[in-house]
Structure 1
Amino acid sequence: MNERIDIKNVIVMLKRNIWWILAIIAITVASMFIYLNYIVTPIYQKSTQILVNQAENNQTNSIEAQTVQADLQLVNTYSTIISSPRILTKVQGELKGKYNLQELTEMISVKNTTNSQIIDINVNYLDAKTATDIVNVVTQVFTQEISEIMKISNVTILSEAQFFGNEKPVKPQKALLLVLAFFSGILLAVCFIFVKLLFERRFVSTEELEEYLGISVLGEVSVFQNGTLF
């Protein structure tokens, strides 16, 4: 009977329940594997890149530092415009109204590196081919509309999204989640052992018996496999 938990008792309990521990870990990892492969819907991502830059000066054939700085300041503005209702409404029309503005807003993300004139347009969707089509439409509509909105043509498409047919989903990250499931299984197994140890009502050693009852153990009675006492 345990009034306290010590390291020795924990080790004994771990050894005694090793198969329970392995079973809990196996069930946890197997459940995650089934979820990742048969339940969760994979998400694919396709991207395009656009460059914000002024037209070259025909006389000097160079771009001044002030012009570059102005382009950098415009990047944040352009990133917001890409996800604006004006652009997405045009995109919705190009896609024959298949998606509403809320759906387009949720699947489109825009990012740019600090002090970079390059903007990345990303689309996350359940199908890689559809994601490719959508992100290319968004990029084309934006490059067409921005000259009218800003009264200047300073956007160049660096790369369009391409569909190869062998794309891998960006979500879920199977390897990472399986590793997390493994460690979660270990944690659950340890919790199971501690709970079981707390409710343990048997003496696990002669030392514990002597400590709890305050008597000395003079000997032990062994039990053979056939149940005969010795």
Structure 2
Amino acid sequence: MEETISLRELFDILRKRLWLIVLITALATVVSGAVSYFVLTPIYQASTQILVNQAKSEQQLYNFNEIQTNVQLINTYSVIIKSPAILEKVKNELRLDRTLDELNEQIQVSSEKDSQVFSVTVQDPDPAMAAKIANKTAEVFKNEIVKIMNIDNVTILSKAEVKEHQAPVKPKPLLNMAIAFVVGLMTGVGLAFLLEYLDNTIKTEEDVEKHLGLPVLGSISIISPQAANTTRTAMSMQRARRETIGR
């Protein structure tokens, strides 16, 4: 016969292990907050926008095919802008003390669908350095693309700037603490049920009927030391009274 557990029993298990659930949840939240605020290095972000569009004279008309070509070129430009040919010049001109692979990981290139504009985003522990790398990458790319592809259709739309009181993009302590709270709560609840499952000791009459399948005929109550002393004193007095009457 399959054992079933009622909703009341679930709440009883949670109530019995409530201290464990609260401890694990609080510990996970506090540790996550401490790591986010005091251990992890804040990372700042700066972005610059680049337009892919060849300069036109007033006599030239709107050319849809050329715009489509420019849009398709962005995929190629996204690869070129993170290539060693570009990043090596950025590293040398800014005198960066990092490898090309590390610099490559800092730079992200993204573009909107069917748009001639793409963004170069840089993340760095120093907000000023993030802006410098973003602007220098766009500048070097604009100058070098003419030599690489023999085409001049790149314009820098906006430069990266360091904002006043700029907030880091990561870590996000409140989000990390919220996630840690949920994970800690789930871990605590799961551990509470696991401990209950592994606990095969018999503590109550209900445990006897449940685990052994035997009816309970009686139980022996636990007498506290104070009650035991009172009982012994009363019995001694009764015994003394009987002896006195017997004499």
Do the two structures share a fold, i.e. TM-score over 0.5?
yes
| Residue 125 (structure 2) aligns with | 126
| Residue 89 (structure 1) aligns with | 88
User: For 1:225 and 1:163, how far apart are their aligned partners in 2?
Assistant: 73
Contact 1:47 1:120 in 2 (8 A): yes
Give the superposition deviation at 1:37.
0.7
Which runs of 5 or more structure 1 residues have no equivalent in the other structure?
none
Give the superposition deviation at 1:167.
1.6
Structure with max Cα Rg: 2
Q: Which amino acid aligns with 2:149?
A: M
Give the superposition deviation at 1:204.
4.9
User: For 2:224 and 2:126, how far apart are their aligned partners in 1?
Assistant: 62
Go from structure 1 to structure 2 and tell me whether the alpha carbon gap of 1:224 and 1:18 turns closer, same or farther (over 3 Å shift). farther
C-alpha distance after superposition, 1:53-95 (max 9, x if no partner)? 02113314x4311111111121111111111111111111211
| Residue 31 (structure 1) aligns with | 31
Q: Which amino acid aligns with 1:163?
A: V
Q: Which deviates more from structure 2 when the two are superposed, residues 206-215 or residues 86-95?
A: 206-215
| Residue 210 (structure 1) aligns with | 209
Contact 2:20 2:192 in 1 (8 A): no
Give the superposition deviation at 1:210.
2.4
User: For 1:83 and 1:193, how far apart are their aligned partners in 2?
Assistant: 51
Corresponding residue pairs, total: 227
Q: Which amino acid aligns with 1:31?
A: V
| Residue 46 (structure 2) aligns with | 46
User: For 2:181 and 2:64, how far apart are their aligned partners in 1?
Assistant: 53
Secondary structure in 2 aligned to 1:51? Answer: strand
| Residue 19 (structure 1) aligns with | 19
Contact 1:47 1:123 in 2 (8 A): yes
Q: Which amino acid aligns with 1:217?
A: V
| Residue 100 (structure 1) aligns with | 99
Q: Which amino acid aligns with 1:160?
A: K
User: For 1:155 and 1:131, how far apart are their aligned partners in 2?
Assistant: 22
| Residue 65 (structure 1) aligns with | 64
- Whether 1:147 aligns to 2:146 is yes
- Percent identity between matched residues is 36
| Residue 234 (structure 2) aligns with | none
User: For 2:224 and 2:15, how far apart are their aligned partners in 1?
Assistant: 20
Secondary structure in 2 aligned to 1:55? Answer: coil
Give the superposition deviation at 1:133.
0.9
Go from structure 1 to structure 2 and tell me whether the alpha carbon gap of 1:38 and 1:218 turns closer, same or farther (over 3 Å shift). same
User: For 1:157 and 1:87, how far apart are their aligned partners in 2?
Assistant: 16
Secondary structure in 1 aligned to 2:202? Answer: coil
Q: Which structure has more helix as a fraction of its residues?
A: 2
Contact 2:33 2:174 in 1 (8 A): no
- Whether 1:112 aligns to 2:102 is no
User: For 2:40 and 2:4, how far apart are their aligned partners in 1?
Assistant: 41
C-alpha distance after superposition, 1:173-198 (max 9, x if no partner)? 33332221111111211122122112
Contact 1:10 1:197 in 2 (8 A): no
Secondary structure in 2 aligned to 1:37? Answer: helix
| Residue 192 (structure 1) aligns with | 191
TM-score by length of 1: 0.87
C-alpha distance after superposition, 1:5-44 (max 9, x if no partner)? 7345433221112122111110011111111111111221
C-alpha distance after superposition, 1:120-164 (max 9, x if no partner)? 101111111111111111111111111222222211111111012
TM-score by length of 2: 0.82
Q: Which deviates more from structure 2 when the two are superposed, residues 215-224 or residues 8-17?
A: 215-224
